[in-house]
Amino acid sequence: MATKHREVYFIQDRLPLRWWFSESKERAEDIDNVLNLQRDLITLIAGYVDESGIDKGLTQLLAQQVDMAVNEYLASHQVELKIIAPRSDKLIENEVTLSSSGMGFLSEHAVSEGEVIEMEIYLTAIETSVRVVCSVLDSRASSDAENPGYWLRTRFIMGQEHATKAITAHISERQRLALEKRAIGIGANKLFGSANEA
């Protein structure tokens, strides 16, 4: 099911953007560490139900308390959404792969894995510019001689729900337009096919 979700909310696009190194690296890493701890604790709690027969209600209560503590932490350390409109002149069009959880794009410079960067992206389908904080997953030299540089693959730091909703809206609109265009093309082929048969 998760694989289908990622396929649905994933596109290749060309978008105006710019990026810079984030000054909030420690905060972003802290958020990631807390979310990883939350996942590990809930997995551990769930494991005790099977191994030691602890009451299921108690483990659910413990898991809820972990969730509440994490949500309180995220609320107090949340990365703020910054929506900027109209599009900035500083943005440069770039080939990208975009999903609701991260983005890949071509950069002139290599960036170390784990670096935290901020990006301004103009979402053309919904005519909105957003700023997001991302963690760099990897940086690889481009194999395309016509497009030298480094392909950066990033993941959006958690706690930016408004920004990721805007990105998801852009992706959905792009997919809707692509399906519409495809349907029109299929309809035209059928029409011309019928005419040729006649």
N-to-C CA span, the chain: 46
Q: What pLDDT does residue 124 have?
A: 95
Do residues 97 and 141 make contact, with C-beta atoms less than 8 angstroms apart?
no
Q: What percent of the chain has pLDDT over 90?
A: 32
> Is the pLDDT score of 32 beyond 70?
no
Average pLDDT over residues 69-80: 63
Burial 35-65 (b: 16+ CB within 10 A, else e): beebeebbeebeeeeeeeeeeeeebeebbee
Do residues 84 and 8 make contact, with C-beta atoms less than 8 angstroms apart?
no
- Whether a cis peptide bond, with omega within 30° of 0, leads into 16 is no
Q: What pLDDT does residue 28 have?
A: 59
The one-letter code for the residue type at 59 is: T
Residues 158-193 pLDDT 10s: 778 788 889 999 999 999 998 998 888 776 566 556
Under the banding of pLDDT at 50, 70 and 90, the label for residue 40 is: confident
> Is the pLDDT score of 42 beyond 80?
no
CATH of 2-24+80-183, one of 2.40.10.220, 2.40.110.10, 3.40.1000.10, 1.10.443.10: 2.40.10.220
Compute the distance between CA of residue 159 and CA of residue 117 in angstroms, rounded to an integer: 15
Q: Which residue has the higher pLDDT, 69 or 27?
A: 69
Q: Using alpha carbons only, what angle is made at residue 133 by residues 128 and 134, rounded to the nearest 5 degrees?
A: 115
Residues 91-134 pLDDT 10s: 999 999 999 899 999 998 899 888 888 899 999 999 999 988 88
Q: Which residue has the higher pLDDT, 26 or 134?
A: 134
Average pLDDT over residues 27-42: 69
Under the banding of pLDDT at 50, 70 and 90, the label for residue 1 is: very low
> Is the pLDDT score of 144 beyond 80?
yes
Q: What pLDDT does residue 130 have?
A: 92
Q: Using alpha carbons only, what angle is made at residue 43 by residues 7 and 99, rounded to the nearest 5 degrees?
A: 20
Compute the distance between CA of residue 178 and CA of residue 16 in angstroms, rounded to an integer: 20
Average pLDDT over residues 7-30: 76
Q: Which residue has the higher pLDDT, 91 or 54?
A: 91
Q: Where are the domains of the chain?
A: 2-24+80-183, 31-77
> Is the pLDDT score of 150 beyond 80?
yes
Q: What pLDDT does residue 11 have?
A: 93
Residue 99: count of CB within 10 angstroms of its CB: 20
